[in-house]
Structure 1
Amino acid sequence: MGEIQELNFEKTGVEEDEERVIPQPKNKKRWVSTVVYTLFVLVGQSSATLLGRLYYTEGGNSVLVAALLETVGFPILIPFAIYFSSRNHLSKNNPPISNQPSDLLIKSFVYAILGLFQAATAVLYSIGLQNLPVSTFSLINSTQLGFNAVFAFFFNAQKFTPLILNALVLVTVSSALLIFQDDTTGENPNGKSKTGRFVVGFSCTLVASALYSLMLSMTQLFFQKVLKRETFSTVLKMIVYQSMVATFVVTVPLFTRGEWSSLRSEMETFETGKVTYVAVLAMIGLAWQVYAIGTVGLVFEVSSLFSNVIGAVCLPIVPIMAAIFFQEKMNGIKVISTLLAVWGFVSYVYQHYLDSCKKTSGGGGGEVETVLRESENFIKQEYRI
């Protein structure tokens, strides 16, 4: 009887020790980081979009300047990248970074490709925002969810579930509805060729959404296959190098086309004054960098698909803010489109929640069962049960 009690006590001790095996502090830290990155995405994207609309409304007219603001703010991240990189070098848990010429060449090539994608999406988004009401622009951006699901399927082994398929249908329908909205309400900016401007804005925003989704999937693949280091400094370095390439690509036509010389006159004719003009441009650049940190951070912590989903949270935020600050009308089609897009977003989030719960229960339970099985075999051999 004593032996049985001793055996039960030993097995209970194994179970108690096994509870300590589950890395709960690490999961808690990961969720805190995810929440912080999420706030960066929400604040950065909504602020940058609304300020970009303000730039065009008050007299700004340069697409290249608006596109440049999405990338040119990267120098403010360099001190943080250096600081976190030095901390990682001092840590014993992080493996050394490979500085082989072949690895550096591959990384440089990937940074260049991602920078080109970023420059292209920045220009296309700027054209879309110039020609569309900000609420319509934001709703069309919901197609990123659909594009990203497709690219994640091919590049990141993302599985299609009923919830994801439901979300894809909803965001597709929500964007398609905008084509049938009444175009005589006077919402389109500048009041010229409203139908033509809508077609241009819709097409550019749609293509930009596809390119941006592809860029996110490629970013996740880059983290997994090339960098193979999960630190915050790698996130900052990726943003800096990628933005450096994108800034160069956008700056070249800005000078060659002569738009740079017209900025002084644009500043002088800005309706709310020169100081406001400079302040708006500075805040747009800062907001896009905050958004970049949050987006790449979510790709690093979770996945490109989840990063895109969080970006879709701005769907109900931006149209409401646009109605408040720019007096844009929320007609019936826009309301229905917003509700469908939010419904699709909820489907995405719930699927991610189910996947997270499955991984947590599956990983922890498997380790416990393995340890208990090994302990049971040892006890049987020791006591010949």
Structure 2
Amino acid sequence: MNDDNQPVSHFHLQKLGRWQWWSLVVANIFFLIAGQAAAVVLGRFYYDQGGNSKWLATLVQTVGFPILYIPLALIPSDKDPAPSSEGASLKLIALVYFTLGVMVAGDNWLYSVGLLYLSASTYSLICATQLAFNAVFSCFLNSQKFTALIWNSVVILSLSAALIAVNDDSEGPSGVTKGKYFIGFICTLAASALYSLLLSLMQLSFEKVLKRETFRVVLDMQIYTSMVATFVAVIGLFASGEWKTLHGEMRGFVKGEVSYVMTVAWTAVVWQVCAVGVVGLIFMVSSLFSNVISTLSLAITPIASVIVFHDKMNGVKVISMLMAFWGFVSYIYQNHLDDVKARRRQSDANNSSNDVGGPW
């Protein structure tokens, strides 16, 4: 969004029709929600069945990036590349990808530690703070302005995620000491803040450095940052010595070795689906919108838990999900109002230009 919260002005996407733009937004929302829900379920399954490697849990979040070369190959090359006078140098672009990639690796590791040492309820509650962090970063880095509807969306979605968290009846992981619990708490809180900062920096990079308006830029961003993050995770896996335990971990996996391999492989795939949705929404709308949808998925995840783990869906969870949809609709409606306002201004400007020209 720009200073007036217009959803299409950041990347000059006015060439897209209204329904085309919304179709792309809806597609990215689906990728993010479905991908994140599946990734959280698989991540929890990995730990529950005997997995214990923090660096492997970090690695699978980005190692699936080669999959993205498939849609990249299907997208036509840009016909009108950005002028060299406006485009950033390759060194600067490489620096942006490297910096963001290292930050992604660190953020993924922090989340992995948090999920290992905290119960699902506490983990979800802390993750809900990412909207508050993003509000601050968006204000300073992206010139984001907040309307009453946006504040309503942020507050309601945060409360919804918190309500799910405090109502979670599941017990925390066994064998976790108070010291490890504190480490998990701090790591998850830091990860939420770093994730929000990453979203704002990605949006800033699209605006100030990359300056492109095609979806290839989204895929490039995800591929190269994931490549860097993967190398960092591999280094961490070997430097920590955890790679030595992976064979024994696989043999001791409760559901068997095949299930272990499939869990790791599919976790890598769904994280990439989620990541495309995240970066796509930053590209199409804003970092705050992407974060709102991420928080919405915290309310959607219990549905996946009901299907996979046969968890009970009580009244409090139903109310929490309805609150999440309320906050989501509030934000979408604000985008609709901004879209109508922007198009009306554009129409008035065109009419004014025609009047000035006159029939003469």
Name the CA shift for 1:208/1:338 in 2 (closer, same or farther; >3 Å).
farther
Which of 124, 134, 146 is the aligned partner of 1:148? 134
Deviation for aligned residue 1:272: 0.5
The 2-side partners of 1:171 and 1:83 are apart by 36
- Contact 2:31 2:274 (C-alpha < 8 Å) held by counterparts: yes
In structure 2, the partner of 1:213 is 196
The 1-side partners of 2:33 and 2:161 are apart by 20
Give the match's secondary structure for 1:313: helix
The 2-side partners of 1:62 and 1:341 are apart by 33
The 2-side partners of 1:131 and 1:332 are apart by 28
Which of 101, 109, 112 is the aligned partner of 1:123? 109
Q: Which moved more, 1:24-33 or 1:229-238?
A: 24-33
Which of 168, 177, 189 is the aligned partner of 2:173? 189
Q: Provide structure 1 residue ranges, at least 5 long, that are not aligned to the other structure.
A: 1-22
Q: Indicate whether 1:95 and 2:82 are aligned.
A: yes
Which of 341, 344, 356 is the aligned partner of 2:339? 356
The 2-side partners of 1:262 and 1:220 are apart by 39
- Contact 1:135 1:318 (C-alpha < 8 Å) held by counterparts: no
Aligned length: 347
Name the CA shift for 1:235/1:363 in 2 (closer, same or farther; >3 Å).
same
Q: Indicate whether 1:276 and 2:259 are aligned.
A: yes
The 2-side partners of 1:358 and 1:144 are apart by 29
In structure 1, the partner of 2:39 is 48
Give the match's secondary structure for 2:174: helix
Give the match's secondary structure for 1:224: helix
The 2-side partners of 1:174 and 1:290 are apart by 24
Give the match's secondary structure for 1:190: coil
The residue correspondences of 1:6-17 to structure 2 (distance < 5 A) are none
Deviation for aligned residue 1:210: 1.2
In structure 2, the partner of 1:250 is 233
The 2-side partners of 1:207 and 1:342 are apart by 27
Give % identity.
47
Give the match's secondary structure for 1:352: helix
The amino acid across from 1:217 in the alignment is: S
In structure 2, the partner of 1:134 is 120
Deviation for aligned residue 1:72: 0.7
Deviation for aligned residue 1:95: 3.4
Q: Normalization by structure 2: what TM-score? A: 0.85
The 2-side partners of 1:41 and 1:124 are apart by 20
Deviation for aligned residue 1:264: 0.5
Q: Provide structure 2 residue ranges, at least 5 long, that are not aligned to the other structure.
A: 1-13
Q: Indicate whether 1:225 and 2:208 are aligned.
A: yes
The 2-side partners of 1:172 and 1:307 are apart by 14
Deviation for aligned residue 1:70: 0.5
What root-mean-square deviation, in Å, do the aligned CA atoms of Structure 1 and Structure 2 show? 2.9
Which of 292, 295, 304 is the aligned partner of 1:321? 304
In structure 1, the partner of 2:356 is 374
- Contact 1:139 1:337 (C-alpha < 8 Å) held by counterparts: no
The amino acid across from 2:216 in the alignment is: S
The 2-side partners of 1:62 and 1:140 are apart by 22
| Cα deviation digits, residues 173-231 of structure 1 (max 9, x gap) | 5666789x489x661122533x6555443332222111111111111111111111111
In structure 2, the partner of 1:38 is 29
Give the match's secondary structure for 1:359: helix
Which of 17, 28, 31 is the aligned partner of 2:19? 28
Deviation for aligned residue 1:346: 3.8
In structure 2, the partner of 1:63 is 54
In structure 2, the partner of 1:12 is none
| Cα deviation digits, residues 217-253 of structure 1 (max 9, x gap) | 1111111111111112111111111011111111112
Deviation for aligned residue 1:341: 5.0
- Contact 1:312 1:345 (C-alpha < 8 Å) held by counterparts: no
Deviation for aligned residue 1:352: 2.4
Name the CA shift for 1:140/1:327 in 2 (closer, same or farther; >3 Å).
farther
The 2-side partners of 1:96 and 1:83 are apart by 24
Deviation for aligned residue 1:156: 1.0
Name the CA shift for 1:205/1:339 in 2 (closer, same or farther; >3 Å).
farther
- Contact 1:139 1:315 (C-alpha < 8 Å) held by counterparts: no
The 2-side partners of 1:367 and 1:226 are apart by 30
In structure 1, the partner of 2:66 is 75
The 1-side partners of 2:58 and 2:154 are apart by 28
- Contact 1:42 1:310 (C-alpha < 8 Å) held by counterparts: yes
Q: Normalization by structure 1: what TM-score? A: 0.80
The 2-side partners of 1:333 and 1:27 are apart by 37
Which of 89, 95, 102 is the aligned partner of 1:109? 95
